[in-house]
Amino acid sequence: MILLFSILGVSLNLLLGYSGLVSMAHAAFFGVGAYAAALTARHLGWPFPLTLLAAVVVTTILAGGVTFPALRVRGEYLILLTLALQMVLYELMLSWTDLTEGRTGISAIPRPTLFGRTLVTPAQFLPLIAACAAAVFAVGYRIGESPFGRVLKAMRDDERATLAIGKSVLRYKVAVFSLSGALAAVAAALFAHYQAFINPFSFTLDRSIFLVALVVLGGTANLAGTLVGATLFVGLPEMLRFLQARQEIVDAIRDFVFGGVLVAFMRFRPQGLLPERPGVGAAPARAGLAAVTPALPVAAARTDDGRPVLRAEGLYKSFGGIRAADDLSLVLPGGRVTALVGPNGAGKTTVFNLLTGFLPPDAGRVVLRDRDVTGLAPWRTVGYGLARTFQDVRLFERMTVLDNVVAAIPGQPGERLGPLFATPWRTAAAERANRARALGYLAFVGLADRAGDIAASLAFGEQKLVALARLIATEADVLLLDEPASGVDVQWVSRILELIRQVAAAGKTVCIVEHNLEVVTAVAHRAYFMEAGRIIAEGRPEELMADPRLGEIYFGKARR
């Protein structure tokens, strides 16, 4: 039983710990798998490994399919939604008597026969279950500690930022839900054959809650922690059986202790028994970090210096009655820095959101070179070479600085499940190359020595630099920087500006949103002045600064 719960825990930890998706329906998925195995064995007479396959297929499809519409929601909504799913599936198991035989359950599930031996006793089952558990653990570990797992963690830490580095959050969510269902189904098929009998009462909400608790107590995003948790919280209560007391009192005491432990852990050790290991793969050796050569990728199309690379034509966007963008057109020339300036609330950040697909415009077009990218999903526009940063930085806070940057590198084979398992050597080689590249980008912004640190531990100015390195790592050649130098000490500002100049000199097309007019004059070749969703002036920054009308809008009318 400990091993079965370990399998379930590992499968749930991928969801809960790595991806931050709380599923209260795991017991129901477990149940669906068990029924799939039991029914194919009983009615179709399939032998054991085939029934396991059936369980995996059915549960994967269900988990992936049912959760697909659910994945637009997060946090407490997802808890509630999966709770609803758990109840629906459970009630169906109880009431769809033609298929499940209701509360009586399905009995006389054939024992599996392997290598000519029929497994009956627990001792005979042990090697099979242990082998499966080991396999599931290996799969889970491989996924969790891979580029794929890195994207999952990024998604957990910040969904919008994950989109902004060009990863389709939806695709990863469906993948991880299906995968988690598939692994749970392995436990389910084993459970059905081991017990030779199943009924709905093994797949209740209480069991789902227990599984969630098990994962959190063991340690989220740490699979070894889940094993320890399963051993302790499934194994120890079995000891209580030896107490000479009435069963229901024993159960009550067990629940009481379990509840108490849960409360105490949340209070004093919320990260669980074994906390998450920072960083994917081996930590970079500190000694070598100083010697990393700074790297700056040269834009593919060096030739479009000064020519228009990104054009926006007639963008409209309104929120209720407010026009956040009103017939807005602009052009970003290649290899230059363009600035958007204007007072608070002029709609500068909205323009970024419209350009990168975070908001669909009500009307108008966004054209990147010759490609219409209007209203494409943000992760797609990144793929076409248009990426952005956020005003509030949005690093993946619980990941290392290095992982923040590596995660943004496009086209990693280890981010797809096929190559991850089919061509491990190629994946590993690509990962080494990507890490080296990411270190180069970090060296470019001057933070290579902080590569192994947790992102949240950095000062705000350093976080902005990491965000810049992450943006460069997307290999996009049109870079939109939202207030790259705001809220940062003066000594950082000049450093950031110097980097922006270098990036543009390397052929990238850069656009910044900035309040600080000194910053704008220092780096921008051209500036657009915005007010109330419109562009009311454009020109060289010095010219705009000299215009008394704009000064009035920016600073308010001078008192007389």
- What are the residues binding other proteins (CB under 8 A)? 22, 69-70, 72-73, 75-77, 79-81, 83-85, 87-88, 91-92, 94-97, 209, 212-213, 216, 248-249, 251-263, 266-267, 270, 319-320
Decide whether 64 or 334 has the Cβ nearer to other proteins.
64
Decide whether 77 or 460 has the Cβ nearer to other proteins.
77
Q: Which residues pair with 317 in a beta bridge?
A: 325
Least CB distance from residue 152 to other proteins, whole Å?
Answer: 16
Compute the distance between CA of residue 49 and CA of residue 493 in angstroms, rounded to an integer: 63
Decide whether 252 or 300 has the Cβ nearer to other proteins.
252
Compute the distance between CA of residue 489 and CA of residue 227 in angstroms, rounded to an integer: 46
Integer-rounded Cα Rg, in Å, for the chain is 28
Decide whether 92 or 428 has the Cβ nearer to other proteins.
92
Least CB distance from residue 99 to other proteins, whole Å?
Answer: 11
Decide whether 100 or 474 has the Cβ nearer to other proteins.
100
Nearest alpha-carbon partner for 450 in 468, 437, 436, 463: 463
Least CB distance from residue 501 to other proteins, whole Å?
Answer: 36
What the block records as the tokens of 128 is 């099979």
Decide whether 29 or 137 has the Cβ nearer to other proteins.
29
Least CB distance from residue 18 to other proteins, whole Å?
Answer: 14
- Mapped onto helix, strand or coil, the DSSP state of residue 100 is helix
Decide whether 190 or 454 has the Cβ nearer to other proteins.
454
Least CB distance from residue 212 to other proteins, whole Å?
Answer: 7
Compute the distance between CA of residue 431 and CA of residue 407 in angstroms, rounded to an integer: 10
State how beta strands 117-118 and 113-114 pair.
Answer: antiparallel
Decide whether 350 or 474 has the Cβ nearer to other proteins.
350
Least CB distance from residue 172 to other proteins, whole Å?
Answer: 19
Contact (CB, 8 A) for 4 and 190: yes
What the block records as the tokens of 413 is 């084979």
Chain center to CA of 218: 21
Q: Which amino acid is at 254?
A: R
Compute the distance between CA of residue 21 and CA of residue 15 in angstroms, rounded to an integer: 5
Contact (CB, 8 A) for 37 and 52: yes
Contact (CB, 8 A) for 182 and 417: no
Least CB distance from residue 211 to other proteins, whole Å?
Answer: 12
Decide whether 80 or 236 has the Cβ nearer to other proteins.
80
Decide whether 128 or 257 has the Cβ nearer to other proteins.
257
Burial class, 323, CB count within 10 angstroms (exposed 0-12 / middle 13-18 / buried 19+): middle
Compute the distance between CA of residue 334 and CA of residue 403 in angstroms, rounded to an integer: 29
Compute the distance between CA of residue 181 and CA of residue 12 in angstroms, rounded to an integer: 8
Least CB distance from residue 174 to other proteins, whole Å?
Answer: 15
Nearby residues of 96 by Cβ (< 8 Å), 6 or more positions away: 102
- Mapped onto helix, strand or coil, the DSSP state of residue 352 is helix
Least CB distance from residue 512 to other proteins, whole Å?
Answer: 25
Least CB distance from residue 209 to other proteins, whole Å?
Answer: 6
Contact (CB, 8 A) for 107 and 197: yes
Decide whether 96 or 460 has the Cβ nearer to other proteins.
96
Compute the distance between CA of residue 181 and CA of residue 59 in angstroms, rounded to an integer: 6
Q: Which residues pair with 545 in a beta bridge?
A: none
Compute the distance between CA of residue 131 and CA of residue 135 in angstroms, rounded to an integer: 6
What the block records as the tokens of 226 is 């889940």
Least CB distance from residue 22 to other proteins, whole Å?
Answer: 6
Decide whether 129 or 234 has the Cβ nearer to other proteins.
234
Least CB distance from residue 24 to other proteins, whole Å?
Answer: 10
What the block records as the tokens of 511 is 């656009």
Contact (CB, 8 A) for 136 and 225: no
Least CB distance from residue 253 to other proteins, whole Å?
Answer: 7
Decide whether 120 or 266 has the Cβ nearer to other proteins.
266
Least CB distance from residue 248 to other proteins, whole Å?
Answer: 6
Decide whether 247 or 491 has the Cβ nearer to other proteins.
247
Q: Could you report how far apart the first and last alpha carbons of the chain are, in Å?
A: 82
Compute the distance between CA of residue 137 and CA of residue 279 in angstroms, rounded to an integer: 19
Compute the distance between CA of residue 357 and CA of residue 387 in angstroms, rounded to an integer: 10
Compute the distance between CA of residue 381 and CA of residue 410 in angstroms, rounded to an integer: 12
